[in-house]
Amino acid sequence: MSKLKNVGDLQALREKLQGQISRRKATNTTITVGMGTCGIAAGAREVMHAILEELQRRDIQAHVTTVGCIGMCSREPLVDIQQGDEDRVTYGNVSPNMVPRLIEEHVVNSRVIDEWVIGRVSGQGG
C-alpha cells in the first residue's frame, strides 16, 4: 500500500477498510440464508454468493449468516432479512437474479417486496 501523504489519505483509507472488519461490528441488517441440505440442493449457495457480491458492489454493511433447515423445504432457497427492530421477513424460492431487487428495495429502501414474502416474525419478539 502506498504512503499516506496527509490526514485526508488516512481518513479515506479508513473508510475504505472499514468493510473488512464489519463482520466484527454491529450492523443494522442481518440477512440469513437457509443452508440445510435442502437449501443447498435448491441453490442456496449461489443465492448467498449473489448476496455477498451485491453487498460488496453497493458497499453495504450487513451481516450475512446461514442457518439450517427451518422445515419449509419446498420453498427453498429461503432468505430472511431483518433490519433494526423491524419484522424479520422471509422470502421463498429466491434465485440469484432476484437478489439485486431484494437488496435494492428491502435493504436499501426498507420496502418489503410483498409478492415474494412467505412469512414474517415480529422483530420485537423474535
Partner 1 sequence: MVEYRADVLVGCEHGEHPDLVGALKAEIERRNLGAEINVVETGCRGFCAMGPILLIEPEGIIYCAVKAADIPEVVEETLVKGRVVERLAYQEPVTHQRICHYEDIPFYHKQMRLVLRNCGMVDPRSIEEYIASGGYSALEKVLTTMTPDEVIQAITVSGLRGRGGAGFPTGRKWSSTKHAHGECRYIVANGDEGDPGAFMDRSMMEGDPYAILEGMTIGAYAIENVREGYIYVRDEYPLAVENLRLAIERATEMGLLGDHILGSDFSFHIKIVRGAGAFVCGESSALMQSLEGSVGEPRPKHVHATESGLWGQPTALNNVETWANVPLIINMGAGEYAKIGTTNSKGTKAFCLVGKVRHTGLIEVPMGMTLREIVYDIGGGPQEGREIKAIQTGGPSGGCIPSHLLDLPVDYESLAEVGSMMGSGGMIVMDDTNCMVDVARYFLDFLKDESCGKCTPCREGIKRMLDILTKIVTGNGEMSDLDKLERIARTVQRASLCALGKTSPNPVLSTLRYYRDEYEAHILQKRCPAGVCRDLITYNILEAKCTGCGRCLRNCPRKAITGERRKLHVIDQALCIKCGICKENCVFDAIEVS
Q: Which of 41, 56, 121, 122 binds partner 1 (CB under 8 A)?
A: 56
- Rank residues 20 and 124 by Cβ distance to partner 1 and give the closer one: 20
Q: Count how many Cα atoms sit within 13 Å of the Cα of residue 53 in the half-sphere of its side chain.
A: 11
3-state secondary structure of 80: strand
C-alpha–C-alpha distance, residues 94 and 79, integer Å? 7
The answer to whether 116 and 92 have CB atoms below 8 angstroms apart is yes
Q: Which of 55, 99, 102, 103 binds partner 1 (CB under 8 A)?
A: 55
Q: Which of 38, 42, 48, 99 binds partner 1 (CB under 8 A)?
A: 48
Tell me, what DSSP letter sits at residue 76? P
Touching partner 1, residues 2-21 (CB under 8 A) = 3-7, 9-11, 13-14, 17-21
| Adjacency order of strands within the sheet including 29-34 | 63-67, 29-34, 79-83, 88-91, 117-121
> Residue 32, interface with partner 1 (CB under 8 A)?
yes
> Residue 67, interface with partner 1 (CB under 8 A)?
yes
Kindly list the residues in this chain that would bind partner 1 in the complex (CB under 8 A): 1, 3-7, 9-11, 13-14, 17-21, 23-24, 27, 30, 32, 35-36, 48-49, 52-53, 55-56, 63-68
